[in-house]
Amino acid sequence: MNAKLRLVFLGVLAACLLCASLSAAAQPSVEDFLGTRKVVAVIPFSLGSAELGVSARHIIDQLVERLKHVNPKRKVVRLEGFSSPEGSEVTNINLSMKRAMAVENYLRTVRHLPPTRYLIGLGVAGGTTLDVVAQRRVEVVFYDNLLNMEDAEVDKVIIDDSKD
């Protein structure tokens, strides 16, 4: 390969490598995604319970119109369940997930919203300054959809809410 052609080839190769590294650097990370977290509602629960009380249903009812207008291409909605420190770690994670499922079930069956939210049970939140009563909650959280998450087609929703 002559020197001129080799120089052009190396220049093109360097440009391709630079473009690839810039493209990779431009991709948002999970940390970037989590950094856009915005709590839009906090739904309280009683000790050891995943049952929606009157105040919890009222909070959800007030949120429905806002949820109806969420553009999933722009925002990701997560229902993040939490528990207070009473009980074992496994019990608390299960309870926190059941709380998130109770909110989702209410949104689908009572308020007739499609299942477009992500659910997660986080158990006891580490490093929280909340008192134990305030820790028993589900947070409805919006994230910017930096990772281009998409909803999957759902044929059937199955929630196993059997007792432990």
Which three-class secondary structure string do you get for the chain? Answer: CCHHHHHHHHHHHHHHHHHHHHHHHHCCCHHHHHCCCEEEEEEECCCCCCCCCHHHHHHHHHHHHHHHCCCCCCEEEEEEEEECCCCCHHHHHHHHHHHHHHHHHHHHHCCCCCCCCEEEEEEECCCCCCCHHHHCEEEEEEEECCCCCCCCCCCCCCCCCCCC
> Percent of the chain at pLDDT above 90?
50
Domain assignment present for 162:
no
Whether 76 and 110 share a structural domain = yes
Q: Domain count for the chain, please give it.
A: 2
Q: Are 91 and 128 contained in the same domain? A: yes
Asked whether the predicted pLDDT for residue 125 surpasses 70, the reply is yes
Q: Are residues 20 and 58 in the same domain?
A: no
Same domain, 95 and 137: yes
Residue 140 shares a structural domain with residue 80: yes
**pLDDT the model gives residue 159:** 52
Nearest to 137 by CA among 49, 34, 37: 49
User: Does the pLDDT at position 100 exceed 60?
Assistant: yes
Q: What is the mean pLDDT of residues 78-88?
A: 91
Residue 20, domain extent: 1-27
The whole-number average pLDDT for the span 84-106 is 93
Same-domain pairing of 130 and 54: yes
Do 95 and 20 have their domain in common? no
